[in-house]
Amino acid sequence: MADLPVYTDADPSMAELLATHPHLTTDPMCGLMFEGVPLNAIADAVGTPCWVLGAGTLRQRLKRMQTAMVDAGLDVSIHYAVKANDHLSVLSLIGQEGYGVDIVSGGELARTQKAGIAANRVVFSGVGKSDAELEYAIGLGIGQINVESAEELGIISAIATRLGKQATITLRINPDVDAKTHAKITTGLAANKFGIPFDNAAALYARAFTLPGLKPVGFATHIGSQIVSTAPYHAAYARVAELVRTVRASGLSVEVVDCGGGLGICYRNEVEGQPEALAGTIRAELGELGVRLSIEPGRWPVGPAGVLLSSVVLRKQEGLPAPFVVLDAAMNDMVRPSMYDAWHGILPLAPQAFNQPVTPTHVVGPVCESGDTFARDRLLPPLERASRIAILDTGAYGAVMSSTYNSRPLATQVLVENGQWTVIRHRQTLEELWQDETIPAHPTGKA
């Protein structure tokens, strides 16, 4: 296409996206395939928008993380961060494979119990756990609570004492380290709301041993999400190691360090975070401490394991240099582009589309906000009314962040496993949209 303008932007081509997403392939008859299943067949059967999640990809990626830790000679347990994708089928797979979970709410805890995950494999993080959530968690005897403030330490002690239980706790440390990621998903800077300031941690840890109902076992940290370099991890873990040595020197025991999540994936042109490099960092900074270690990955295992299928409602080009292709998916389904300016790969489903010339295209949703934009000036083959596309890397922070804004029902979800696919969430009906609403009897205004 020598006659097209040259775009210096570093967007990957469709071929490059396929190369970085091995679970996506193309078939000359069926078009885009996901773990061997034609995505068009799924869209034909259940319509769009539709989330598709691949159990095979998720299992493989979890396994790679585990192998990386074992190969580094580390005793690291994997606690999948439920917030990334809390579907019961994902949690059930996590449980079957023997992993633990990291949760941030009573709702997530309830889901893990529904999915059959043993309570002692659950770690509870979060800056504002309610009394009811703590009672539920402590009552169940969950594995560990990561405490985020001095006030919370006292609350947990009181609740555990009242319940006649002992709560196993770590202190989540804010190491004041810049994770060099998007400002909205950075958590380890002193200015962020998360964790206990590093300088207060040793004294608070000592205090924890004096309070009833608590079993302090160590420290946790989590510095942010979509981290693609090991440098911030080195810095954070070095500080945690320093703290472990300090409190041990004062005679206190430390058995556990929870290393948090945050490993980034390749959405556009990032070099994907490597579990092996993370394992090396953990070993270098924490390997000599003789503690039980854990990580809390969410995005890395499940992000690439999902796509969002959508159809073109119409195309709008009147007088514009690049067309607006309006999808049937919107920001209410997938908010990441609107919320974080996130870049997600887009591939067509039709077999012929992979051989067609590409031109700059704006891909938008139908919601009445300009922020409802999935991509601007994206080089794509011709997309006409009813053409279908897959938005890539939506397995994490995709369906979980959906809303029903504009009274748009939640989309269908499908799980692909061993070449078969199953609907794991039906498309929300209009009745379901308002079934929990009531209309009060209006005052008549008459005397």
State the catalytic residues: 368
Q: Is 273 in the site for ligand LLP (CB under 6 A)?
A: no
User: Within 13 Å of residue 282, how many CA atoms lie on the same side as its CB?
Assistant: 31
Site string for ligand LLP, 166-195 (x = CB under 6 A): -------------------x-x--------
Whose CA is closest to 96, among 430, 441, 395, 417? 417
- State the binding site: 262, 296-299, 336, 340, 369, 397
Q: Which two tokens stand for residue 274?
A: 């490597």
Q: Which two tokens stand for residue 308?
A: 């969002």
Site string for ligand LLP, 198-237 (x = CB under 6 A): ------------------------x--xx-----------
C-alpha 402, offset from chain centre: 13
Site string for ligand LLP, 389-428 (x = CB under 6 A): -------xx-------------------------------
Q: Is 89 in the site for ligand LLP (CB under 6 A)?
A: no
**List 280, 297, 395, 409, residue binding ligand LLP (CB under 6 A):** 297
Whose CA is closest to 175, among 126, 128, 244, 226? 244
Site string for ligand LLP, 123-162 (x = CB under 6 A): --x-------------------------------------
**List 213, 262, 287, 337, residue binding ligand LLP (CB under 6 A):** 262
Q: Quote the least distance from Cβ 45 to ligand LLP, whole Å.
A: 29
What is the rounded CA–CA span in Å between residue 217 and residue 196? 16
Token pair 């950075």 is found at: 186
Cβ neighbors of 211 (< 8 A, separation 6 or more) are: 153, 154, 157
Question: CA angle at residue 288 from 287 to 290, to 5 degrees?
Answer: 90
Q: Is 304 in the site for ligand LLP (CB under 6 A)?
A: no
Kindly write down the DSSP assignment for every residue of 397-420, as one continuous string: TTGGG---GGGPPPPEEEEEETTE
# residues near ligand LLP by CB under 6 A: 23
Residues 421 and 335: beta-carbon distance below 8 Å: no
- State the binding site for pyridoxal 5'-phosphate: 262, 296-299, 397
Q: Is 340 in the site for ligand LLP (CB under 6 A)?
A: yes
What is the rounded CA–CA span in Å between residue 281 and residue 396? 24
Contact residues: ligand LLP, CB under 6 A: 81, 83-84, 102, 125, 185, 187, 222, 225-226, 260-263, 296-300, 336, 340, 396-397
